[in-house]
Amino acid sequence: MFFKQLPSRLHHILFHTHTVSGIVISFALFIIFYAGAFALFKEEVFQWQEPAARHITTSEYNFDKSIEVLKKEYPDIVWTNRLFFAAPSSAIPFIQFVGSYKKKEEKQKRIWVYINPENYQVIKKRTTLSETIYDLHFFDQIPVLGRYLAGFVSIFFLFATLTGVLIHWKNTVRKFYDFSIRESAKQIWKNAHTVLGLLGVPFYIMYAVTGSVLTLSLLLLLPSGLVMYDGDTDKLLKGLRPQLSIQVDTQNVDSTSIGSIQECYQKFQKSIGNQELHYLIVKDYGKKDATVFFNVDDHKTLTGDGSILYSLQTGEELLNLLPENKKYQHQVLPAINKLHYATYGGFGLKIIYFIFAILTCFMILSGVLLWQKARDNNNYTLAQRKFHHKTTLIYLAVCLSLFPAITVIFLANKFVPIDLLGREIYVNSIFFGSWLVLIIIGVFKNKYSKINLLFLQIGGFLSILIPITNGFLTEDWIWNTFANNEFYVFSVDVFWLITGITALLIVKFQKVVE
């Protein structure tokens, strides 16, 4: 089956713009997808990284009691600021609290703690593994500009995807049948890049669009505000998030009758039936016009989330945005979030997303190698070929070293004492330090296959160490977690065991081909 070919001039222009846009963003895009693949399981990894969360059985919790405990533990919390509570779930069985505190003559700082619903013990946030990988997906380690950089990479990725489809449109089907590992290196990379690229087109477009919206929302929404709301972005935001339209008088303080979050929660439960609370947000706690915003999510459909806003003092329902009451504009941002994070189809959907993300990483690397092979001929000067070779070495070193570096942060999460002051700094330093060292080692390897084999070998060995280390330090060996129905801990250990064995088998049987 063949499709109509593009005019030669247009094909030539699109081919070169596809190549340039792809090679410019390739290593940044690889990091986004590789880190994003693991960030999908941010919540599922929690019990593995925090042993105290593995044996909690209660499903009852009281938010008023949580407030009282927090007042005793952290008297400097700024209660009139935004207070966020995440309800316990099967993956994270703690009540999560995020707020802010301010001591005298100090700047306001964020506080993030967990509350054990069995005994209401406050546990400081001690782990950083999943948050570090999640932040890496958005380049949040780069202050201010990180998310914007990730957003523009997403836009370039969308452009590269569309131009790639157009230039390969004519021979779409034939490429699938032409793929063979017995061809020349250039032909292998070319066919692999095309086949994987075309297979994942819907996935790439979805991720590029949702990623751009999540990171560049203000820039992307600005034109809509200018056209539809005469430049009034406040009206636009209130249309997307109606809870922002509720007016409160923050000057009126009522210290004698604060109101009960738990009573509002009980009313909310009656409204949602058998569904479970996702999170709640309290604003202006301690003031007369304080509000509490409850959110529910079935995690099964794109539009299965909803919310109700109550007056905290009177318990009056101020806004009802349950699924049956939501309008189209209320569903846009939540649906984009669900599409991007795969939170609408259960654990199985996340696995599918993960597989596509890893295949995308392979597609990116095949594109880099194809770019180099296409320029390794007499049409280019020796200096140009050396530049292309060095550029490819650096790209491969940065990308492929991320596999063993990710295993290092999992191991660091176990070896760095859980109660050590400033633990997050040590774990992150080990991760980024090891990644830098691995990149430097990779750059000095002059053959691409040797870089690949080296990092597969290191990553494979360290992957096998992860479940072994967890077993020794927590006594939660794979067979114990399986017997105790600790699904999340068991899944993490089994994943790394299979990954490690697979990587070492590839190293053993792979022939070095140049």
| Nearest C-alpha neighbor of 478 from the set 465, 466, 464, 467 | 467
Q: What is the pTM of this model?
A: 0.90
Q: What is the pLDDT of residue 2?
A: 46
Does any domain span residue 492?
Answer: yes
| Structural domain containing residue 107 | 51-125
Report the C-alpha gap between 88 and 279 in whole angstroms. 9
Does any domain span residue 428?
Answer: yes
Q: Which residues contact 98 (CB under 8 A, 6 or more apart)?
A: 83, 84, 86, 110, 111, 112
Report the C-alpha gap between 270 and 316 in whole angstroms. 14
Rounded alpha-carbon distances, angstroms, from residue 309 to 193, 248, 268, 283: 49, 13, 9, 11
Does any domain span residue 276?
Answer: no
Q: Of the candidates 125, 155, 188, which is a domain's last residue?
A: 125
Report the C-alpha gap between 486 and 5 in whole angstroms. 55
Count up the domains in the chain and report the number: 2
- The mean pLDDT value of the chain amounts to 86
The backbone torsions φ and ψ at residue 109, rounded to the nearest 5 degrees and listed phi first, read -125, 160
Does any domain span residue 18?
Answer: no
Q: What is the pLDDT of residue 7?
A: 75
Which tokens in the block code for residue 290? Answer: 């304080």
The SS3 of residue 310 is strand
Does any domain span residue 58?
Answer: yes
Instruction: Kindly report, residue by residue over 278-309, the tens digit of the pLDDT.
Output: 999 998 888 888 899 999 988 888 888 889 99
Which tokens in the block code for residue 476? Answer: 């939660």
Q: Of the candidates 75, 100, 125, which is a domain's last residue?
A: 125
The backbone torsions φ and ψ at residue 405, rounded to the nearest 5 degrees and listed phi first, read -65, -40
CA angle 434, 473, 468 (to 5 degrees): 65
| Sign for the pseudo-dihedral over CA of 378, 384, 387, 388 | negative
Instruction: Kindly report, residue by residue over 11-60, the tens digit of the pLDDT.
Output: 778 888 888 888 889 999 999 999 999 999 999 999 999 888 888 877 78
Does any domain span residue 113?
Answer: yes
Instruction: Kindly report, residue by residue over 199-245, the tens digit of the pLDDT.
Output: 888 899 999 999 998 888 777 777 766 666 666 666 666 666 666 65
Does any domain span residue 74?
Answer: yes
Report the C-alpha gap between 426 and 512 in whole angstroms. 37
Instruction: Kindly report, residue by residue over 336-360, the tens digit of the pLDDT.
Output: 999 999 999 889 999 999 999 999 9
Query: Do the Cβ atoms of 35 and 136 come closer than 8 Å?
Result: yes
**In sequence order, what are the beta bridge partners of 310?**
292, 317
Q: What is the pLDDT of residue 514?
A: 43
Q: Of the candidates 110, 125, 140, which is a domain's last residue?
A: 125
Rounded alpha-carbon distances, angstroms, from residue 68 to 56, 63, 385, 399, 492: 21, 9, 67, 48, 35
